[in-house]
Amino acid sequence: MINTAPDSRPIMGMLWMFLTGLCFVAVTALVKYLGDDLPAAQQAFLRYLLGLVFLVPMWPALRDSRFSRMVLGVFALRGAIHALGVALWFYAMTQIPIAEVTAMNYLTPVYVTLGAALFLGERLALRRLLAVLVAFLGALVILRPGLREVSSGHLAMLGTAIFFAASYLMAKRLSGQVSASMVVAMLSVAVTVALSPLAYAVWVPPTAAQLLGLLAVAAFATAGHYSMTRAFAAAPVTVTQPVTFLQLVWAVAIGAMFFAEPVDLFVVLGGMVIMASVLFITWREAMLRKQAKRAVPAP
């Protein structure tokens, strides 16, 4: 029998994560190219609205699903929080270079670690706490407060990471009650609904080219989430996570080549520091899981 355990296909997992990075960098490049001709909230809304077409195969399952009132409430709250994060991300893309957006996005798993300790009762050991502090040091290297202006785009990315972390923590709470595919589908629907009043308030008639561009954004984002899922299924996170650092390399290259954004070595250094922290946290969690499995006596 062929072994299909996650740690049996590390090369495949890395290749899937490599493809994930390409998809997500394509998303950032397209959003940067679209610019600020459309308000950020409207761009975010159209990206999710157009992305619903990729959920068509799941509509029968969504229609027939029966959720408790509590689960529906979590879906709605998560959609509202994630919508704020998405709107802030779209805004940040119009204000700061691609590389800075990408580097600061690495803060999300750090906030997830903190949130899991504060709200889910998970233990925050000293080593993990030090890793979190190192990640914040990396953020300070990128922002350099006092040495340069911290723009509204930087503040938006700090908010984005916090809102996305809260969204992922709620997804973790839902994972034991609802299938992963349903969690993703309901998020898409809830975010579309949550963004609609924000988009309506600032609505500008979009052109066909803008709609096509946002459809491409939705397609690459959907493909990225799919390939990430395949990567996690093929190999442990400790194997696939280092590949995500390539996103920063590509973001720096695309920003320099296509958008005349200067290469900021402090941004690269800060991103490396944050990524090192994320890798350490990921590695420690993998080691703890292995120790826990060894501690369970055989039946």
Q: Which of 31-45, 82-96, 269-283 has the lowest mean pLDDT?
A: 269-283
- pLDDT band for position 162 (cuts 50, 70, 90): very high
| pLDDT at residue 156, as a whole number | 96
Segment 75-98 mean pLDDT: 95
- For 148, phi then psi, to 5°, come to -155, 170
- Distance in angstroms (rounded) separating the CA atoms of residues 134 and 116: 18
| Whether residue 261 has pLDDT greater than 90 | yes
Going from N- to C-terminal start, the domains of the chain cover: 6-294
Segment 22-48 mean pLDDT: 94
Which residue type, as a one-letter code, is found at position 272?
Answer: M
Q: Which of 19-23, 145-149, 165-169, 277-281 has the lowest mean pLDDT?
A: 145-149
| Whether residue 242 has pLDDT greater than 90 | no
- pLDDT band for position 228 (cuts 50, 70, 90): confident
| pLDDT at residue 33, as a whole number | 93
Spatial neighbors of 191 by CB under 8 A, at least 6 apart, are: 48, 79, 82, 83, 86
DSSP 249-298: HHHHHHHHHHS-PPP-HHHHHHHHHHHHHHHHHHHHHHHHHHHHHHHSPP
| pLDDT at residue 176, as a whole number | 73
- Distance in angstroms (rounded) separating the CA atoms of residues 251 and 29: 8
Residue 60 to residues 151, 176, 180, 265, Cα–Cα distance (Å): 45, 22, 16, 50
| pLDDT at residue 66, as a whole number | 80
| Whether residue 21 has pLDDT greater than 60 | yes
Within a 13 Å sphere around the CA of 215, how many CA atoms are in the beta-carbon half? 9
| pLDDT at residue 277, as a whole number | 87
CB 46 within 8 A of CB 214: yes
| pLDDT at residue 90, as a whole number | 95
Segment 250-259 mean pLDDT: 91
Q: Which of 18-22, 84-88, 214-218 has the lowest mean pLDDT?
A: 18-22
pTM of the model: 0.84
- pLDDT band for position 190 (cuts 50, 70, 90): very high
Within a 13 Å sphere around the CA of 103, how many CA atoms are in the beta-carbon half? 31
| pLDDT at residue 298, as a whole number | 44
- pLDDT above 90 covers a percentage of the chain that reads 47
Segment 285-290 mean pLDDT: 71
What DSSP designation does 243 have?
G
- pLDDT band for position 39 (cuts 50, 70, 90): very high
H-helix segments, the chain? 10-34, 40-51, 59-64, 69-95, 98-105, 107-119, 126-143, 152-174, 180-201, 208-234, 237-240, 246-258, 265-295
- Distance in angstroms (rounded) separating the CA atoms of residues 7 and 64: 36
Q: For residue 21, which of 208, 191, 224 has the smallest C-alpha distance?
A: 224
Segment 226-232 mean pLDDT: 82
- Distance in angstroms (rounded) separating the CA atoms of residues 185 and 177: 15
- Compute the mean pLDDT over every residue in the chain, rounded to the nearest whole number: 86
Q: Which of 56-65, 190-199, 219-228 has the lowest mean pLDDT?
A: 56-65
